[in-house]
Amino acid sequence: MRWLAGAIVLVASTAAAQSVATLRGRVLERATQEAVAGAVITVGNELAATGDDGTFVLELPRGSYTLEVSAPWLVTSRHPLTLEADTSLVLEVDAAAETGGERIEIIDIAPTAPGETRVDARLARAVPGGGDAGKVVQSLPAVARPPAGSAEIVVWGAAPRDTRVFVDGVPVPALYHLGGYRAAVGNDLVGDIHLTPAAFGADRGRAIGGVIEIGLADPATRAAWRAQADLLDASVSGRTRIGPVTIAGAVRQSWLDRAIAIVADPQELAPNAPLPRWTDAQLVARATLGTDVVATGWVLGALDSLERTLASDDPATEVTERVDQRWIRAQVTLRRDTARGFEAATLWAGRDRTSDDFAFGITPASHTSVQWVGGVRGVQQTRLSELATLTVGADIDAELATLSRSGSLTIPAREGDPHIFGQPPGDDVSADRWRATTIDAAGHVAVDVRRGRVTATAGARVDAWLLDASRLTPRVGRTPGIGTQQIVYTEDPRGSVQLRITDETIVRIDGGRYHQARAASDASAVFGTPTLGLEEAWHVTAGGQWRRAPFAIEAAAYARWLDDLVARDLAVTPPLAKTLTQGGTGRVVGVQLTARVVGWRGISGWLSYALGKSTRRDDTMQAERLFDHDQTHGLIAVAGWEHGGWTLGGRVRLSTGEPRTGVLGALFDSRSGRFQPIRGAQNGERLPVFFAADLRAERRFPLGPTRGAAYLEVQNLTGRANGEEIIYSADFAQHSYLTGLPLLAIVGLRIER
């Protein structure tokens, strides 16, 4: 099927274009001259929504239109419009008689590619998730329901490591804090969230799954100051201006573990959900340099720690874990807008440190890594003519990692490892210290063209990879270490073709090839294989969209073929320095139906159903098996409604349980004095179906010269005991389910000015 992805690019490169114009606008409230965020812009059958700074952008065929600005808190206004060239305009609107509080919205009623979703932070905070904008990712179409207490993100059957998270184009190590309760990239300064589950463009690389983009808001649009507290944590944020520079900052500190201790024993809750501590902080600055140059910069940081014990009557099976994670990112970007496009350059750097100490009885495992990361990227977009737009760019990402590990070879378990929850690990232990370097220099180009009802993009990305490991063999006495280094070149075509059948209906197909480097943690001569290289994937997505304001319906089909996947060598005695192999393959196929609504009587949200299958084969000699996080069926409904000072948000999730390896019986190991399970077919069983309904309500009110808001969120409203893991008795003769948290209520208060 790889020929299909190549054919897409070939078709895209032969498409021509028609005359279009770019409409840029800004909406202001007439009385106050303040920017209006969340207004729905309707031009013909095209829709957009204004951002936090009141701006919007639309590309339309030249001609005459009526532009409509609407929102529940505004008096709907209509403006005649004639587009003969790129146009910028300012629109003034009047507030409705009854207004109040924040508005909720979805940017782009229909995504630009099959499965693609962009959500404004206002709606994201209204959706149940503790009022944290980043938490909405777990509720987006195409994202599998995560296990309780997990920070992993599974997008259309891709392994969590295969999906990358970017903040304003800069990669960050994780979207969530430990436990998944909060987003690690902050909350108050987030502007929007953009998910591309597959077949993303040539400007993004180093991932074979999906891409999540977190856009930070213009600091000038933030509140002068804000304080918020609830059961999970407390946060403060503020904004100031120093000459031409606007600066906004925010900090958040958790107290969930201490709050829970007031009403329950944290040790009793530890098996159901971890209770970590977290801190995050953000500082954002923006300055306008002249009429067309903008400089932005920010610093993000996150700290996480977790200590928990899974008690047992048998000390040999008691589990203890201590985790410490911390990371920081800093970047500066210069952007210049021109009459025919824009130019931008970004410089970024950061440091990640992770320490994980784990013990199963007397069998230990520890892992420490320190990574220095950084990069530079530049992009230029130019309208070549009225028929085509050219985008070219280059970027370099570098990672220098120093790692150490000791303990059991099978802790932690890898994706695909035959694993039974509670099964003692092997007593084969070892230790290693190593360094790994990953540098990728890439160039990319894309051409967007239109002709009549056809829109096409033809693009390509070329990468040069440097993969280095400090030791090719394990340490033996004083034998000097010999490292390994390889340079690999990849050429990845990307493309898309879109056909507008009617003014309300379009069909589109996207595809391309993608690569990512092996993880630095896999380059150990003891616990991995130093000579591992690149993993590869081909993506194809196809779909159709129908939209008539304020509704949209989308059907999407997707396929992903994976090759050269890193997997554990299942041999009893694998070759020296080759504990891991790179012969794994995978296949992901599925369909997704999504209905969306924007601003209908104050309601915005979506209803989505996904049917998919994700399989893996760890070696050509192994049988095909289900992916560890495969979920055949997934249904999610999300809605937010605002009226006056009230905001209500709801979410319903229904999904197939994840696969698990069953137990057929057990043997008694007289050497260890414990029973060892006899495993059934790998991933041959499933956890029970998951169901949860969540509700969030917020009431805003004036508070002297400030504004206040009180909110209540109830998660797992029905109190359903969802099975998150299969647990067994000591002799594996009986089993039951480890369940997630029961009904959880979060009460909070926010004050701002």
3-state SS track over 542-559: EEEEEEECCEEEEEEEEE
- 577-585: average pLDDT: 92
Q: Tell me whether the omega of the peptide bond preceding residue 412 falls within 30 degrees of 0, making it cis.
A: yes
Give the H or E element holding residue 265: none
Residue type, 366: S
Q: What percent of the chain has pLDDT over 70?
A: 91
pLDDT band at 70 (very low <50, low <70, confident <90, very high): confident
The domain boundary residue, chosen from 157, 189, 224: 157
Of 743, 753, 738, give the one whose Cα is nearest residue 688. 738
Pairing relationship of beta strands 77-83 and 63-70 according to DSSP bridges: antiparallel
> How distant is the alpha carbon of residue 246 from its chain centre?
28
Cα-based angle 707, 708, 714 (whole degrees, multiple of 5): 145
Q: Do residue 73 and residue 222 come from a single domain?
A: no
- 56-84: average pLDDT: 81
| Lowest-pLDDT range of 52-56, 327-331, 477-481, 697-701 | 477-481
CA contacts within 13 A on the Cβ side of 331: 24
491 three-state secondary structure: strand
pLDDT band at 344 (very low <50, low <70, confident <90, very high): very high
Distance CA 183, CA 233 (A): 12
- For position 268, what pLDDT does the model report? 64
Q: Are 556 and 114 in contact (CB under 8 A)?
A: yes
Total number of domains in the chain:
2
- For position 602, what pLDDT does the model report? 82
Q: Are 715 and 107 in contact (CB under 8 A)?
A: no
Q: Do residue 140 and residue 72 come from a single domain?
A: yes
- 2-24: average pLDDT: 51
- For position 591, what pLDDT does the model report? 98
- For position 282, what pLDDT does the model report? 96
In a domain, 342, yes or no: yes
> Alpha carbon of 737 to those of 276, 440, 632, 724, 728: distances in Å?
23, 44, 20, 7, 9
Neighbours of 117 (CB within 10 A): 26
Q: Is 47 a residue whose pLDDT tops 90?
A: no
- 141-169: average pLDDT: 92
- For position 176, what pLDDT does the model report? 95
Of 275, 362, 266, 276, give the one whose Cα is nearest residue 318. 362
- For position 566, what pLDDT does the model report? 95
Q: What's the token pair of residue 269?
A: 């809750």
What does the pLDDT look like over 371-390, one tens digit per residue? 999 999 999 999 898 889 99
- 604-609: average pLDDT: 94
Strands, sheet with 87-93, edge to edge from the N-terminal-most edge strand:
55-61, 20-29, 87-93
Q: What's the token pair of residue 639?
A: 């809605």
In a domain, 462, yes or no: yes
In a domain, 545, yes or no: yes
In a domain, 619, yes or no: yes
Instruction: Name every residue whose Cβ is closer than 8 Å to that of residue 418 and which is 6 or more positions away in sequence.
Output: 661, 679, 682
DSSP-assigned states of every residue in 106-124: -S-SS-SSTT-EEEEHHHH
Please tell me which residue, 484 or 122, carries the higher pLDDT value: 484
What does the pLDDT look like over 668-724, one tens digit per residue? 877 777 788 888 899 999 999 999 999 999 999 988 888 999 999 999 999 999 998
**Which CATH number does the domain housing residue 78 bear?**
2.60.40.1120
Q: Which residues, in sequence order, are bridge partners of residue 25? A: 56, 89
> Alpha carbon of 514 to those of 487, 535, 538, 679: distances in Å?
17, 8, 6, 35
Instruction: Name every residue whose Cβ is closer than 8 Å to that of residue 584 and which is 6 or more positions away in sequence.
Output: 416, 562, 564, 565, 566, 567, 616, 617, 618, 619
pLDDT band at 263 (very low <50, low <70, confident <90, very high): low
Q: Which residues, in sequence order, are bridge partners of residue 510? A: 496, 541
Instruction: Name every residue whose Cβ is closer than 8 Å to that of residue 680 and which is 6 or more positions away in sequence.
Output: 661, 662, 663, 664
CA contacts within 13 A on the Cβ side of 184: 27
- 98-104: average pLDDT: 41
**Which CATH number does the domain housing residue 627 bear?**
2.40.170.20
Distance CA 104, CA 637 (A): 16
Residue type, 106: I
Instruction: Name every residue whose Cβ is closer than 8 Å to that of residue 630 and which is 6 or more positions away in sequence.
Output: 157, 612, 613, 614, 615, 658, 659, 683
In a domain, 172, yes or no: no
Instruction: Name every residue whose Cβ is closer than 8 Å to that of residue 10 and which is 6 or more positions away in sequence.
Output: 495
In a domain, 541, yes or no: yes
Residues of the domain holding 24: 2-157
Residue type, 47: L
What does the pLDDT look like over 120-148, one tens digit per residue? 888 888 889 888 999 999 999 999 998 88
- 455-478: average pLDDT: 92
Give the H or E element holding residue 213: strand 211-216
Q: Are 154 and 629 in contact (CB under 8 A)?
A: yes
Q: Is 3 a residue whose pLDDT tops 50?
A: no
Q: Do residue 351 and residue 463 come from a single domain?
A: yes
Q: Do residue 114 and residue 232 come from a single domain?
A: no
DSSP-assigned states of every residue in 299-335: EEEEEEEEEEEE--SSGGG-EEEEEEEEEEEEEEEEE
Q: Do residue 525 and residue 590 come from a single domain?
A: yes
Cα-based angle 65, 69, 71 (whole degrees, multiple of 5): 150
**pTM, two decimal places:** 0.85
| Lowest-pLDDT range of 198-212, 433-447, 522-536, 739-753 | 739-753
Please tell me which residue, 662 or 462, carries the higher pLDDT value: 462
Q: Classify burial at 72, counting beta carbons within 10 Å of its beta carbon; exposed 0-12, middle 13-18, buried 19 or more.
A: buried
| Lowest-pLDDT range of 58-72, 97-111, 461-475 | 97-111
Q: Is 16 a residue whose pLDDT tops 70?
A: no
- For position 449, what pLDDT does the model report? 92
Of 21, 20, 16, 38, give the one whose Cα is nearest residue 29. 38
Distance CA 573, CA 558 (A): 39
**Helical residues (DSSP H) of 264-390, grouped into ranges:** 266-269
- For position 555, what pLDDT does the model report? 96
Q: What's the token pair of residue 596?
A: 């969306």
Of 400, 407, 421, give the one whose Cα is nearest residue 367. 407
Q: Is 441 a residue whose pLDDT tops 60?
A: yes
Q: Do residue 668 and residue 580 come from a single domain?
A: yes
Q: Is 212 a residue whose pLDDT tops 80?
A: yes
In a domain, 124, yes or no: yes
Please tell me which residue, 568 or 34, carries the higher pLDDT value: 568
> Alpha carbon of 733 to those of 188, 493, 581, 729: distances in Å?
50, 53, 34, 6
CA contacts within 13 A on the Cβ side of 505: 4
| Lowest-pLDDT range of 121-125, 627-631, 657-661 | 121-125
Distance CA 250, CA 182 (A): 14
| Lowest-pLDDT range of 2-11, 48-57, 282-291 | 2-11
Q: Do residue 477 and residue 571 come from a single domain?
A: yes
Q: Do residue 148 and residue 249 come from a single domain?
A: no
In a domain, 204, yes or no: no
Q: What's the token pair of residue 518?
A: 């092996």
The domain boundary residue, chosen from 110, 138, 157: 157
| Lowest-pLDDT range of 237-241, 263-267, 513-517 | 263-267
Q: Is 15 a residue whose pLDDT tops 50?
A: no
- For position 316, what pLDDT does the model report? 66
Given the structure tokens 């856009």, which residue do they identify? 215
Q: Is 18 a residue whose pLDDT tops 50?
A: no
Q: Is 317 a residue whose pLDDT tops 80?
A: no
- For position 520, what pLDDT does the model report? 96
Mean pLDDT of the chain: 87
Give the highest mean pLDDT range of 73-82, 128-137, 183-192, 369-378: 369-378
Q: Taking the chain, what is the end-to-end CA distance rounded to the nearest angstrom?
A: 57
Q: Do residue 243 and residue 134 come from a single domain?
A: no
Distance CA 173, CA 301 (A): 11
- 728-753: average pLDDT: 87
C-alpha radius of gyration, the chain, whole number: 26
Measured in residues, the chain has a length of: 753
Q: Do residue 452 and residue 563 come from a single domain?
A: yes
- For position 464, what pLDDT does the model report? 98
Q: Is 424 a residue whose pLDDT tops 80?
A: no
Q: Do residue 556 and residue 661 come from a single domain?
A: yes
Q: Do residue 329 and residue 448 come from a single domain?
A: yes
Q: Is 266 a residue whose pLDDT tops 70?
A: no
Distance CA 137, CA 140 (A): 5
